[in-house]
Each structure stands twice: as C-alpha cells, then as structure tokens.
Amino acid sequence: MRRPLALLLLAPSLALLAGGCVYGSIEPGDPVDYALVCALPATAPSSTALAPMSPPGAFVPAADPARPAAIRTGYVPIVQDGEGPIFDMTGVARTVYLNRNGGTLSGGYDDAAHNVSSVVAGTGRGSVTLPKANFSDKDWLKFVSCVSDEFSRFNIQIVQDRPAVAGFMMQMVGGSPSALGLPQAVGGIAPIDKNGCAVIEGAVTFIFPDSLGGSLDVNCEAAAQEIAHAFSLDHELLASDPMTYLDFGGHKVFQDQDASCGESKSRGCICKRPQQNSVKILSEKAGLFQDANGPMVALTSPADGASLSAGALPITVHATSATGSIDRVTLHYHDAGNWIVADCAGHSLPCRRSGDDFTFTVPGARGLATFHAEAADSVGGVNVTHTRTVLAGVGENPDTGAIRIAVSVNLGSFAATRQVALNATITTTAGTIDEATVLWTDRRGATSSNPMCPAGAGTNGWTRSIQAAPTPGERSFVVEADDSEGNHAASARFTILLDR
C-alpha cells in the first residue's frame, strides 16, 4: 500500500512540517522523525450554569459519634435536563487522573479535560482555584498506590500524570472545602446521577486532605468513595466498604456484598435500587480489569509505593497463557528523565527471561517512576497490568530562575500512530511566556528545533507532537522557553527509548 504523500516527502519537507530548523545530516531515503503541524487548541464546552444546590453546599450528614466529623463527605446530585452532561458508556475502561497540582476550575457540566466542574456550578460560583496538595513525594506515592489498589480489580486506571487526550475523570486532591463554600467538616465531594445512575463521564471529584487529617488510609478511602460516586455508588451501611461513614477496624475495600444505603441509618438507595453491591456496580459500569481469555500478566517487583535508591531499577513481570505461549512482554516506563517502551526481546533495555518471569533493568532511574507491562500470546490475546509507582531517589528539575518548566510525555497512541506527544507547563515570575521550543534529537543524533503550540488560553500549557520514524532507537529532547522580560530557561534533557 502506498504511504501518504506527506510521508513520502519527509526529508525535503521536514523544515516546513516542523516549523523550525534541523541540525545534522539526513541521508536521502532515510526515515526521520518530524514534528506535526500544530492543532488548534480544543475549545471547552459551554459552561452552562447548573442550578445551585438546595440547600447550598455539599450534602453533610448529621453528626455521628461513631465517625469523626472530619471524615464526612458528600455528593452533588446531577439531573439530566435535555442538554445532557451524562453519557453512560457501561463497561468501557476509564482513566482517573489524581491531580495534586491544584488549578482553576470553572462551573458547568463536568469536563475534566477542560477543568469544568458541576460541583463548582452547584455552589453558584463561576470558578474556584485550589492549591497544590500538601503531600511529600513519599506520602503521595503511598496515596496513589492505595487508590490504585482500591480499583485494581476493575477496568479503571488510576494515573498521576494528566492525560493528553480528553475523556478522563479527575480527582482534585488538596485545598479546603471553604473554597467551594462548604463547611470545614466536609472531607470530599463529587457529582452523582441520583435518578438514572449513569456514569458521569469527565467527572471532577474532590477530596480535602486538610479536613481529613493526616491519615493516608483515610485520605485513600475518601478518594475511593468520591470517585465511586461518579460511577453511581451511594453511601451504604457496610463498615468494611469505602462507601460507608461507619467506623471500621481495618482498611476499607469495595465489597462483593449487598448492603443497605444510608449514612448513619438505613434509607432507600438512589435510583430505587433495593440494596447496593459495590463490586457488582463497578464491574457493570467499568468492567473487570483483564480479559479472562487473554494472557495473565502481573508486576511482581518492585512493590507499588516502594522507596528505592536512584540507579539501576530491576522490574519483574510474570506472564502466562492458558491457550498459547507468551510471544511478547513490553514494559512502559517513565521517571524524572526517561520515557521507555521496551520489549523483552528488544534492544532498548536489558531483559532476562526465567520461565514465566521477565526482568527488565532500567539504568539511571530517578525520581517518581511509573510503569506498567503488557503481554501478548501466540493466539492474539493481549492484557496489561495496572500501573505501579515507586520513588527512585530524588528527581529534581534544574533551577531555571524565573521560568519554571514541567515536562510530560504521552505515548498512549504510540502503538497505533507512532506519535509522541510532548507537553510542558511553563510559568514565569516575570511577565509572560512569549515562546517555547522543543529541541528534538533523533536516533541518528540529528536535532530539530520546533516551536511548541499553546495548549489553550490561561492553561500555561504548551504542546507539540512528534511523528517518530518506523525505526527503534533512543531519542531525547530539551524544552526551552523565553518570557517577555528577556529571561530564558531550558529543562533537563529527557530520554525516550523505543523498541518499535
């Protein structure tokens, strides 16, 4: 099949496509990486105001002596009114982004990708600004790991990096309920469909660690409850389930057990459900995590949430197939300086197979390291693991003066498109950011200078996508920025290892 003309003419048209310059030699016919043309920033949907909550504020149950007041949470009923904020895709995989960085949210129908929240609209406010979460890296790591464990049996991925593509849910972690006009006793709040029990796609949920206290266990359970509200789970009277207000002597996890609904005493469940079974409802709404007919794959080490030394990091994957043999095991990994997609039989990382165990060794791991694995068998089955996060030493960004540059890479569509989405949040204490540039070095050592594209007004976001040549190898990049006061800054150099 003939390739599109734009690809047939890569080398001659590279400078035009990239909107910049190329340094280094390009051999005729040699496939090269190139920057894609900037897309127009996505436009947020109309922030049609929802009716304020009546009475104003979150639902706060009556004081219960068996439950500390600071752990009370609530939900905001969302009613479909013909314009439809709710699109229930039952059984479809969901991604929930845990946002520790704060931000400004506007009121309207839930759309996490554009920071639009029905909870904000329900308070009668046009917008609210929440600060960063007051977590150390180690505590944040434990929190993310705990929330991931809560949803591990379901097709719900918990991530700490903001997805580059719309369609995710977001939980705001940090700030005070007073920012939303709620009592200080409120530990969290979320939207819920009380009548139709649909999943609220793009939902924005909230927890307030300052109100919840210092227990990571309590913060984790509150996070699970607020996220589950967006999947239509009500409060219930089963003490071992995170949907309850009742006290419990251990850690609460979703239970495969029918329970009465209520806060401190029994009442009718939403949507006229006779009772509530958390596991059955989440299984129905999101599905179970792995395809039972595919290969079984799991991360066995390091443990999720582990604190390790910087340097070489061994990661072991266990993969088996009941219907065939394991053809491929792939590691997807990133830390403070590296993004890696490596096959065990490839060349990007050292990898050793011993029976059903595949051990990759990542050199120079540093900072928060996030990874998952994928296995494919000989009969076409594919499954992935949940994501794990560990702390490998400290991954500090360089001091760049007035300008601060935070970089992320999205490889979510790489398998299908070979596109690498580069994203940067850039701020300055002096003036405004005038321009941002990504210096991309391909596998041959040739460097192209590509202007980055504003992600949208008021977001401090910049983006540029790179179309990678169909050749494996190491790439790297640096993001540079200039502000209106003449300050210039460059990020650290980041490495991308691709086996495909």
Identical fold for domains 5-32+403-490 and 69-286, yes or no, is: no
d(CA 259, CA 266): 10
| 298: β partners | 318
| 22: β partners | 448
Helix (H) or strand (E) holding 420: strand 419-428
Q: Where are the domains of the chain?
A: 5-32+403-490, 69-286, 296-392
The pLDDT of residue 378: 93
The pLDDT of residue 386: 84
Query: CB within 8 A of 147, min separation 6: which ones?
Result: 98, 158, 220, 223, 224, 227
Amino acid found at 230? A
Give the CATH fold of the 296-392 domain: Immunoglobulin-like (2.60.40)
Instruction: Report the interhelical angle of 216-229 vs 137-150 (nearest 10°).
Output: 50
Backbone angles phi, psi at 240, to 5 degrees: -90, 0
Give the CATH fold of the 5-32+403-490 domain: Immunoglobulin-like (2.60.40)
Q: Would you state the torsion angle of the CA atoms of residues 395, 398, 404, 407, taken in this order, to the nearest 10 degrees?
A: -50
The pLDDT of residue 74: 58
CA 281 to chain centroid, in Å, comes to: 23
pLDDT 10s per residue in the chain (500 long)?
332 222 222 222 222 233 344 344 334 455 777 877 776 544 444 433 343 333 223 333 333 333 333 344 556 555 433 344 444 454 457 899 999 999 999 999 899 999 999 999 988 888 999 999 989 888 998 999 999 999 988 889 898 888 877 889 999 999 999 999 998 889 999 999 988 899 999 999 999 998 888 789 999 999 999 999 999 999 999 999 999 999 999 999 999 999 999 999 999 999 999 999 999 999 999 887 877 788 999 999 999 888 899 899 999 999 999 888 999 999 999 888 889 999 999 888 999 999 999 999 999 898 888 898 999 999 998 898 888 888 888 655 556 678 988 888 887 778 778 888 888 888 888 888 989 999 999 888 888 899 998 887 666 889 899 998 888 888 999 999 999 999 999 988 888 988 87
**What are the distances in angstroms from CA 47 to CA 109, 121, 203, 204, 379?**
7, 9, 14, 14, 48
**By three-state DSSP, how is residue 58 classified?**
coil
The dihedral through the CA atoms of 151, 377, 304, 251 has a sign that is positive
Q: Annotate 10-40 with DSSP letters as a single string.
A: HHHHHHHHHTSEEES---TT----EEPPPPP
Residue 44, judged by CB atoms within 10 A of its CB (0-12, 13-18, 19+), counts as: middle
**By three-state DSSP, how is residue 122 classified?**
helix
The pLDDT of residue 397: 57
How many CB atoms sit inside 10 A of residue 303's CB? 11
The pLDDT of residue 398: 59
Pair 134, 73: CB distance under 8 Å: no
Query: CB within 8 A of 387, min separation 6: which ones?
Result: 148, 157, 158, 159, 370, 371, 372
**Burial state string for 242-281 with b = 16 or more CB within 10 A and e = fewer than 16:** bbbbbeeeeebbbbeeebebbbbeeeebbeeeeebbbbeb
Radius of gyration of the chain (CA): 24
d(CA 254, CA 192): 18
Residue whose C-alpha is closest to residue 282's, from 154, 383, 386, 175: 154
Query: CB within 8 A of 42, min separation 6: which ones?
Result: 113, 114, 166, 456
Give the CATH fold of the 69-286 domain: Collagenase (Catalytic Domain) (3.40.390)
Pair 263, 279: CB distance under 8 Å: no
Pair 448, 35: CB distance under 8 Å: yes
